[in-house]
């Protein structure tokens, strides 16, 4: 080696592996970093051909790069990446810089190499992840999208965009704001407001009409999330789902509800009016007309519950902070006024706030009324308690009556098919089930002949 001893000592301390190779590729000098990176001591490599240690799939490209570098008429420097064999037979990725810069004092050409295995591994993992995401997005019926923070650049969108919005991805890439042209004019202001909220760092949840080619008959549900770095929004991402069928079913449900409820209430009012006339004109008929009146009033009550259920499942409002202790007190007072002979006691009333739907009041009222109505005696006793739970709150309604039939208990817990619900108590229990479910809660039922019934509504924590 012609390099001075101090220079050699300095090179041995460098993080990069520095070698000298002659025109044939033979090592004439190897720095101490070779042992740390490759496991070979410098002495083991000097005199060896460098290309013999390169992976066979990379060797030709590295040899070609080396020849190109050392034969250049002017100064030439080339960087190449490849796999190099280690002392234990494994492979590391190296990035090597080689040039034709040499000197009579140097016994060959300088090649400086660094270990880039971690970088290559990370890049391949990212590429694999990106490939998997691309495969998933390509077959997804939802639109997956990503924009920069001010919506001036489209970063990603999958092919489903064209099917749902009715415009091309190419057009959107050329003009990221073009998707607004595919939105119903009446819905654009709400969408633009949602875009501003996302740019300000707030998530959004919105539904609107799209696709001018289909007269904007498509409804989409969009959830968007801002991606922040150090408190600043850098990207905006989300998905768009076609909810046209759901919207159509909801409209049909509301129309049928209006028709059924209107006709049912009108016909029942006529029937009850006729019963009243009959009772006044034929006093001896009251024993029979009482049955008709009772059934008619039950049908009217059922129609009212049906209306509440339709409104509940077609209303997409978010939850709101609800003070459950106030709800329980209101419901006990309301049911007590309707059934003055009943004894409704509050056994516990922890002040708890949850994020839920206002219909929770209807759920608690229904459970209390059901317990009172189905009591065996004329002075039914029911208790209700509200208590903290580790992950939220629990409302417990208890009675000492006969066990609730399994077909109805399963309605409350969500283990029942709606086709088997055949009377008003079942419909009322469906109101309870949906009210609790839409508030993120669950219902549990425990019944026995000796202890009666205990219905527990569990709701997740929320609010302050």
**For 291-317, how does the pLDDT look when each residue is reduced to its tens digit (9 = 90+)?**
787 777 777 776 676 666 666 666 666
| Per-residue model confidence (pLDDT) at position 253 | 64
Mean pLDDT computed over 73-102: 92
Rounded distance, CA 161 to CA 240, Å?
Answer: 9
Mean pLDDT computed over 96-112: 83
Confidence label for 424 from pLDDT (cuts 50, 70 and 90):
very low
Q: Is 250 a residue whose pLDDT tops 90?
A: no
**Residues for the chain: how many in total?**
464
Q: Is 182 a residue whose pLDDT tops 50?
A: yes
**Among 222-236, 360-374, 427-441, which is the least confidently predicted range?**
427-441
| Per-residue model confidence (pLDDT) at position 416 | 62
DSSP structure class, residue 419: G
**Among 206-215, 245-254, 280-289, 307-316, which is the least confidently predicted range?**
307-316
Confidence label for 7 from pLDDT (cuts 50, 70 and 90):
very low
> Nearest to residue 160, comparing CAs of 178, 176, 140, 146?
140
Selected residue with higher pLDDT from 262 and 327: 327
**Edge-first strand listing for the sheet containing 204-210:** 154-157, 143-148, 232-242, 218-229, 204-210
DSSP structure class, residue 183: B
| Per-residue model confidence (pLDDT) at position 87 | 95
Rounded to the nearest 5°, which phi and psi values hold at 80?
-140, 145
Rg (CA), the chain: 38
**Among 38-52, 172-186, 219-233, 362-376, which is the least confidently predicted range?**
362-376
Confidence label for 427 from pLDDT (cuts 50, 70 and 90):
low
Confidence label for 228 from pLDDT (cuts 50, 70 and 90):
very high
| Ordered alpha helix ranges (H), 150-243 | 160-165, 169-174, 188-199
Nearby residues of 321 by Cβ (< 8 Å), 6 or more positions away: 353, 354, 355, 462, 463, 464
Confidence label for 397 from pLDDT (cuts 50, 70 and 90):
very high
Kindly state the percentage of the chain with pLDDT values over 70: 84
Selected residue with higher pLDDT from 53 and 133: 53
Give the model confidence (pLDDT) of 118-146 as tens digits.
Answer: 999 988 887 887 677 777 777 788 999 99
Q: Is 365 a residue whose pLDDT tops 70?
A: yes
| Per-residue model confidence (pLDDT) at position 402 | 87
| Per-residue model confidence (pLDDT) at position 176 | 93
What is the pLDDT of the chain when averaged over all its residues? 85
| Per-residue model confidence (pLDDT) at position 174 | 92
> Nearest to residue 239, comparing CAs of 255, 220, 211?
220
Confidence label for 431 from pLDDT (cuts 50, 70 and 90):
confident
Which CA distances in Å does 319 have to 353, 393, 404, 432? 12, 16, 30, 16
Nearby residues of 378 by Cβ (< 8 Å), 6 or more positions away: 341
Give the model confidence (pLDDT) of 252-268 as tens digits.
Answer: 666 666 656 666 677 77
DSSP structure class, residue 13: T
Give whichever of 49-58, 151-160, 276-285 has the largest mean pLDDT: 49-58
| Per-residue model confidence (pLDDT) at position 96 | 95
Confidence label for 426 from pLDDT (cuts 50, 70 and 90):
low
Rounded distance, CA 177 to CA 43, Å?
Answer: 64
> Nearest to residue 438, comparing CAs of 305, 303, 302, 322?
322
**Among 159-163, 283-287, 403-407, which is the least confidently predicted range?**
283-287
Q: What is the pTM of this model?
A: 0.47
| Per-residue model confidence (pLDDT) at position 423 | 44
Rounded to the nearest 5°, which phi and psi values hold at 188?
-60, -45
Mean pLDDT computed over 222-232: 93
Mean pLDDT computed over 408-425: 64
Rounded distance, CA 409 to CA 421, Å?
Answer: 11
| Per-residue model confidence (pLDDT) at position 257 | 65
Confidence label for 102 from pLDDT (cuts 50, 70 and 90):
confident
Confidence label for 107 from pLDDT (cuts 50, 70 and 90):
confident
């Amino acid at each position: 080696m012609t390099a001075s001893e101090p220079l050699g000592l300095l090179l041995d301390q460098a993080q990069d592996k520095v070698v000298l190779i002659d025109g044939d590729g033979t090592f004439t000098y190897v720095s101490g970093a070779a042992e740390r990176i490759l496991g070979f001591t410098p002495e083991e490599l000097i005199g060896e051909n460098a290309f013999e240690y390169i992976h066979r799939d990379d060797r030709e490209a590295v040899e070609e790069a080396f020849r190109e570098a050392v034969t250049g008429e002017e100064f030439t420097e080339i960087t190449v990446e490849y796999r190099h064999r280690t002392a234990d037979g494994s492979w590391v990725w190296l990035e090597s810089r080689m040039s034709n810069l040499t000197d009579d004092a140097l016994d060959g050409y300088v090649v400086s190499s660094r270990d880039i295995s971690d970088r290559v591994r990370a890049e391949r993992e990212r590429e694999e992840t990106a490939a998997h995401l691309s495969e998933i997005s390509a077959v997804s019926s939802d639109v997956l999208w990503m924009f920069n923070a001010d919506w001036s650049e489209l970063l990603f969108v999958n092919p489903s965009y064209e099917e749902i919005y009715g415009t091309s991805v190419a057009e959107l890439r050329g003009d990221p704001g073009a998707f607004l042209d595919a939105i119903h004019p009446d819905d654009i202001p709400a969408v633009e407001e949602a875009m501003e909220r996302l740019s300000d760092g707030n998530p959004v949840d919105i539904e609107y009409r799209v696709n001018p080619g289909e007269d904007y008959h498509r409804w989409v549900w969009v959830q968007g999330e801002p991606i922040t770095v150090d408190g600043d929004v850098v990207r905006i991402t989300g998905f768009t789902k076609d909810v046209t069928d759901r919207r159509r079913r909801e409209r049909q449900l509301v129309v049928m509800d209006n028709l059924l409820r209107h006709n049912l209430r009108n016909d029942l009012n006529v029937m009850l009016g006729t019963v009243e006339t009959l009772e006044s004109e034929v006093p001896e008929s009251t024993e029979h007309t009482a049955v008709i009146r009772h059934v008619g009033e039950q049908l009217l009550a059922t129609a009212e519950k049906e209306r509440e259920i339709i409104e509940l499942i077609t209303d997409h409002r978010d939850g709101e902070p609800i003070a459950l202790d106030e709800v329980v007190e209101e419901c006990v007072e309301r049911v007590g006024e309707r059934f003055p002979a009943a004894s409704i006691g509050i056994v516990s009333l922890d002040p708890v706030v949850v994020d839920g739907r206002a219909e929770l009041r209807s759920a608690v009222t229904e459970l209390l009324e059901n317990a009172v109505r189905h009591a065996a005696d004329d002075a039914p006793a029911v208790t209700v308690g509200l208590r903290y739970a580790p992950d939220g709150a629990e409302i417990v309604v208890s009675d000492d009556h006969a066990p609730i039939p399994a077909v109805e208990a399963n309605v409350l817990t969500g283990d029942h098919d709606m086709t088997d619900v055949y009377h008003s108590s079942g419909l009322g229990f469906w109101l309870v089930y949906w009210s609790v479910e839409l508030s993120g809660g669950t219902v549990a039922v425990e019944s026995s002949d000796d202890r009666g019934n205990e219905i527990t509504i569990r709701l997740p924590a929320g609010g302050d």
